[in-house]
Amino acid sequence: MLKATGISKSHHTPQGPLTLFTELNFTLNPAESVALMGESGSGKSTLLHILAGLEPADAGNILLHEHNLTSLNDRQRAHIRRDYFGVIFQQLNLIPSLSVYDNLVFQARLAQRLEHHWLDHLIAELGLQQLLSRYPSQLSGGQQQRVAIGRALAAKTPYILADEPTGSLDEINAEQVMSLLLALVKETGTSLFMVTHSQALAQRLDRSLTLRQGQLV
């Protein structure tokens, strides 16, 4: 179980501190899928980064099994992130100098959980068989998105955190990519926390939350 309690966050601006949210409480249960919605600038991506240990909160705790992420240093959080979280970034963050195959196995190798049978299954389901030797710059946006999903799932982490995983895709590609993501998450029993602006996509998950005026509703 991933549990956030009393999470607050502000950003510093030239005009002074800008409060994004205060005293947020949130739980992501095993094998549950949750959509997070809200207006641009409401802090959705920031909350996802805090949950993943990529950005510190100003106050509160992130509890993950026996760990409290807010009490760990950067190196310890990196180890927790490697072992527990597959992250699909809004900008994808594929490594440009690595082939599709090496991008796919990057986290799984670091976590020492590379299962070739599962990797082969992912590659087939995501339609990447003919693209493994290419580099990210040689792929379309939809293909890059599939690689990012595959990388996040390859290590079989218990949690997938996805930031607008279909935001840059047209409607047809977005539907295909989302269907693949949900099917693979269900197959592995992974928990999914997804930031999205699409009500239609949010309705496909178990439940949805909206970040509005600094609170979850």
Tokens 């807010």 map to which residue? 70
Residue carrying the six token digits 């970040």? 211
Check: CB of residue 165 under 8 Å from CB of residue 145.
Answer: yes
Q: Would you say 53 and 80 are in contact if contact means Cβ atoms under 8 Å apart? A: yes
Q: How far apart are CA 68 and CA 215, in angstroms?
A: 22
Helix (H) or strand (E) holding 173: helix 171-188
Q: Where are the domains of the chain?
A: 2-216
Q: What is the pLDDT of residues 78-113, one digit of tens each?
A: 999 999 999 998 888 999 999 999 999 999 999 999
DSSP code of 16?
E
Q: What confidence tier does 17 reach under pLDDT thresholds 50, 70, 90?
A: confident
Whether 189 has a pLDDT exceeding 80, the answer reads: yes
Using 50, 70 and 90 to split pLDDT, how confident is the model at 173?
confident
Question: 201 to each of 85, 91, 120, 169, how far by Cα in Å?
Answer: 21, 19, 27, 13
- The structure's pTM equals 0.92
- Out of 1.20.810.10, 3.40.50.300, 3.30.1700.10, 3.90.700.10, which CATH number does the structure's domain 2-216 have? 3.40.50.300
So what's the pLDDT on residue 16? 82
State the chain's mean pLDDT as an integer: 92
Of the pLDDT bands very low, low, confident and very high (cuts 50, 70, 90), residue 8 is very high
List pLDDT tens digits, range 26-70: 999 999 999 999 998 899 999 999 999 999 999 999 999 889 998
The predicted pLDDT at position 11 comes to 87
Residue 134: pLDDT band with limits 50, 70, 90: very high
DSSP secondary structure code for residue 52 in this structure: T
